[in-house]
Structure 1
Amino acid sequence: MILVTGGLGMIGAHTARALADLGHDVVVTTHRRTEVPSFLAGRVTVEALDVTDRDAFLALAGRHPIGDIVHLAGSIPGQDPLPYFRTDLSGLLNALDAARAWSVRRFAVASSLGVYIGSPETRWHEELPLPTADLPHPIIAFKKAVEPLTADALKGTGIQPLILRIGSTWGPLMDPESPFNPIPPYINAALRGERPRELHADDGGDTCYAPDAGRAIALLTTAPALRHNVYNVSSGRPFTNRDLATAVQAAVPGADPVLLPGGQGGGPYLDISRLTHETGFTPAFDLHRAVADYVAWRATETS
């Protein structure tokens, strides 16, 4: 059985679905979210758990034969980042404690494309040295710290650490006005019959549709063998705002996005060659298919 913490969040839920699609038994934990997405109903076991409660975390093994852990649970920082760091570090350490106590095979944990910030490259791949740079958000700072903490905590245990450098992911279950990704708010404005905010046509960068991210994580978690401990998870295809506007016009009748000319260029994106070579993963959704699928999902959620 595979444990997915934060398994009713956007990436967690799509990971759980992909694992179930591959035929695995899955238990997901949730703390604040109680509604189970329709695509998971009856397919996974749901456990209410505050991952900062070590005893409750370790007690899961008395109810489930857990062989792998995918740790995706996390919180959102407020104005003071210290409580956020305390909460998410506690959850990480408890998950690592559980992995060691249960002698799991593989421990996967969410990192971020943000660890590459400061690199002059535009194609970010796992062999790039991680630069020392001022980071724009506490979440990115914490994700960067997660990598050595996880690797060192599992050293010598026989448990394989799996660092997931997850790209700019969006899709079903994401807040449509999320400040963390510009695509859902852009689509949401069009669905309301409003003109989306003006973007520069040539700007863009990394993007990954949540069902693809979940499938990539599931393939990495269940692969018979992996040659590395760090993997980029994204589409491997940079997008531009011109692509986004065209996709929205095709999916939303009457949408009239206006693009500003030029921009700074496409921006950096994650190279997923390592992921593809070792698991066979290729994205099922290009940007046009992703926007169309998201618009259809929104229609079912609001009907």
Structure 2
Amino acid sequence: MILVTGGLGMIGAHTARALVDLGHEVVVTSHRQTELPSFLTGKVVVESLDVTNPDAFLALGDRHEISDIVHLAGSIPGDDPIDFFRTDLTGLLNALAAARAWGVRRFAVASSLGVYTGRSEIPWHEELSLPTADLPHPIVAFKKAAEPLTLNALQGSGVQPVLLRIGSVWGPLMDPDSPFNPIPPYISSVLRGETPRALYSDDGGDLCYAPDAGRAIALLMDADELRHSTYNVSSGRAATNGELVEAVRAVVPESHVELLPGRENGAGVDPYVDITRLTAETGFEPAFDVAAAVADYVGWRGENRR
């Protein structure tokens, strides 16, 4: 059985779904979220868990035979960054302790494409050394720190670490007003009949639809052998605002969306991550381009709040 912490969040739920589709038994944990997505109903075991409680975490192993862990649980920073770092670090350490205690095969942890901040080479690939740079958000700072912590914590344990450098993911279950990805708020505005702000057609960057991200993570957990410890998880290409607006117009033809020519800040290249390693070792290819993702998401939102 594979444990997915944070398994009722956007990425966690889609990862759980993909693992089930691959034939795995899955237990998902959530601390405050209680609503089970319709696509997981009757397919996974749900456990309420505060990952900062070490005894409660280890007790999962008394109730389930856990073979692998995907640690996606995390919090949102408030006014106190120390409180955020303490919470997420405690959760990570408890997950690592459980991995060692249970002798799992593989331990995957969510990192972020943000760890590449400061590298000018595009696309970003896993062999790039991570620079010392001002990071855009406390979450990215924690993800960057979590990578060496995970590698060192699992040394000599027989547990294989898998660092998931996850790209800019959006889709079903994301907060429609999320500050972390502009697409759900943009589409929400369109669905309310509003005119969202005009976008520059050639601006864009890394983009991955949540079902694709979940399937990529599931394939990494399902693989018989992995040759590396670090994998970029995304679509492997840069998407543009032009593609997004064209897709919205196709799905919501009555929408009032405006597109400005070129790039807002002049010539340049928007960053995205390379997924050659992921594809070579798992066979992953994204199933959703921008048009298919927008169509699927608008259909989902027709029946779901988020």
TM-score over 0.5 for the pair: yes
The 2-side partners of 1:251 and 1:162 are apart by: 37
TM superposition score normalised by structure 2: 0.97
Question: Equivalent residue of 1:17, what SS?
Answer: helix
Question: Equivalent residue of 2:162, what SS?
Answer: strand
Determine if the alignment matches structure 1 residue 291 to structure 2 residue 294: yes
Question: How many angstroms does 1:255 deviate by?
Answer: 1.2
Question: How many angstroms does 1:80 deviate by?
Answer: 1.8
Deviations, residues 217-259 of structure 1 (Å, cap 9, x unaligned) = 0000110000000000000121111111101111113112112
Question: How many angstroms does 1:262 deviate by?
Answer: 1.9
Q: Partner residue of 1:259?
A: 259
Structure-to-structure mapping, 1:101-120, within 5 angstroms: 101-120=101-120
The 2-side partners of 1:243 and 1:98 are apart by: 44
Question: How many angstroms does 1:136 deviate by?
Answer: 1.3
Question: How many angstroms does 1:274 deviate by?
Answer: 0.3
Structure-to-structure mapping, 1:110-189, within 5 angstroms: 110-189=110-189
TM superposition score normalised by structure 1: 0.98
Q: Partner residue of 1:300?
A: 303
The one-letter amino acid of 2:66's match is: I
Give the conservation status (yes or no) of the 8 Å contact 1:110–1:164: yes
The one-letter amino acid of 2:89's match is: L
Question: How many angstroms does 1:261 deviate by?
Answer: 2.4
Question: Equivalent residue of 2:304, what SS?
Answer: helix
The one-letter amino acid of 1:52's match is: T
Structure-to-structure mapping, 1:1-303, within 5 angstroms: 1-263=1-263, 264=265, 265-301=268-304
Number of aligned residue pairs: give it. 302
Question: Equivalent residue of 1:93, what SS?
Answer: helix
The 1-side partners of 2:147 and 2:259 are apart by: 38
Deviations, residues 19-45 of structure 1 (Å, cap 9, x unaligned) = 000010000000010000000000000
The 2-side partners of 1:256 and 1:49 are apart by: 44
The one-letter amino acid of 1:15's match is: T
Question: Equivalent residue of 1:124, what SS?
Answer: coil
Question: What percentage of residue pairs aligned between the two structures are identical?
Answer: 73
The one-letter amino acid of 1:283's match is: P
The one-letter amino acid of 1:237's match is: R
The 2-side partners of 1:13 and 1:118 are apart by: 31
Give the conservation status (yes or no) of the 8 Å contact 1:203–1:262: yes
The 2-side partners of 1:118 and 1:266 are apart by: 14
The one-letter amino acid of 1:292's match is: A
Name which of structure 1's ranges 29-38 and 196-205 shifts more when overlaid on structure 2: 196-205
Structure 2: stretches of 5+ with no match in the other structure: none
What is the alpha-carbon root mean square deviation over aligned residues? 0.8
Question: Equivalent residue of 1:165, what SS?
Answer: strand
Structure 1: stretches of 5+ with no match in the other structure: none
Question: How many angstroms does 1:201 deviate by?
Answer: 1.5
Stretches of 4+ aligned residues off by more than 3 angstroms:
none
